[in-house]
Amino acid sequence: MLGEKEDTQTPGSVRPTSVWVWVLRGTLALLVSAAALVWAFHDVPMGELADGLRSTDPTAISVYILVSLAFQAARVVRWGLLITPVKDVGARAIWQAGLIGIPASAFLPLRLGEFVRPVMIARAGVPFATGMASVVVERVADGIVNVGLFFILLSIMPASAPLSDSLRTAGFLASVVFGGAVVFLVVAGFARAKSVALLRVVLRPVPDRIVDRAVHLLETFLDGVTPLSNGRRLAAFLILTALYWGANGAITTYLARSYGLDVPFMAGPFALTCVVFAIMIPAGPAFAGTLELGMSLGFSPFAVSPVQVAAVALGAHAATLLVLALTAGLGFLVGSPPRSDAATGASS
């Protein structure tokens, strides 16, 4: 009509400012990865590193890949413990979302892949916020286990071991982040009614419509936390977490020794905790740079050659990416779960 301003923006269009924001974020992520690689490899002669990589033991790498594939299956089973009490979506939906979503968290930059599992499982009927809460619970549990393991291993480290200030700072920051997250989840999960009431008090000046949406979002989020209030389920979750990280640390030591590193058994688990801290830094895709930095810091107290550590880091990184690619491939082979009769009827 005359006098009305026509809206020329199409529904699917993206504002230029949004594009530039993502370009800036992507550029910063790549710069972080580049800086991490420089930090990790600044004292590594590239010629010697090539020789170190040629010493890769095919048997050791194969064992590492096979064991790591089993790790990924254990992670999906553990995640299922958080999903099935909320809604029985079936094993197929959980395996598909887990097998695709877990690798996505590594391949996508800036940790954007963490949203893939919640989005995929939401198609099976689990609210997005609940799915997101399950991922947060996983990350917090993994973080706390690694913080605890870091300080335990740090306490039994030989007095002569060279420990950089960067290691201690990383451990302290991780303990603050994950410790605070644990407090929040425990308080919110076991004092659900009080948490909701507190949110309403805080949002009192806000319109009721927005408050109701915020409360609904919080309650849906807490649905992903409450499954662990069941003792047997919590025990299974903790056992799988301990087995996952214990075996992961052991296989890291095994791989390091295959490259000629004369290190004690504790070196692999300790290096792995440092990798966990390093990949918390938002960076480029596939943990580029941050994984190598974590390995470099983690093996530094054990008097090993930087060249050897760099070879281990690159070998482990390449094998891990192959494992994640195979895992995602299995997820796509699983295929989409069949639609329920209700959903089929609604669409007809």
Q: Percentage of the chain with pLDDT > 90? A: 54
pLDDT score of 95: 96
pLDDT score of 339: 52
Distance CA(96)–CA(338), nearest Å, equals 12
The answer to whether residues 234 and 225 touch, using CB atoms and an 8 Å cutoff, is no
The answer to whether residues 74 and 243 touch, using CB atoms and an 8 Å cutoff, is yes
Q: Identify the H or E element spanning 117.
A: helix 116-122
pLDDT at 282 over 50: yes
Distance CA(148)–CA(171), nearest Å, equals 9
Per residue in 52-90, pLDDT tens?
Answer: 999 899 999 999 999 999 999 999 999 999 999 989 899
When pLDDT is averaged across residues 19-37 and rounded to a whole number, the result is: 87
Distance CA(46)–CA(43), nearest Å, equals 9
The answer to whether residues 268 and 253 touch, using CB atoms and an 8 Å cutoff, is yes
- Band (336; pLDDT cuts 50, 70, 90): low
How high is the mean pLDDT of the chain?
85
pLDDT score of 270: 95
- Band (5; pLDDT cuts 50, 70, 90): very low
pLDDT score of 149: 92
When pLDDT is averaged across residues 6-20 and rounded to a whole number, the result is: 50
Per residue in 110-138, pLDDT tens?
Answer: 788 899 999 999 999 999 999 999 999 99
Per residue in 221-255, pLDDT tens?
Answer: 878 788 888 889 999 999 999 999 999 999 999 99
The answer to whether residues 274 and 166 touch, using CB atoms and an 8 Å cutoff, is no
- Band (155; pLDDT cuts 50, 70, 90): confident
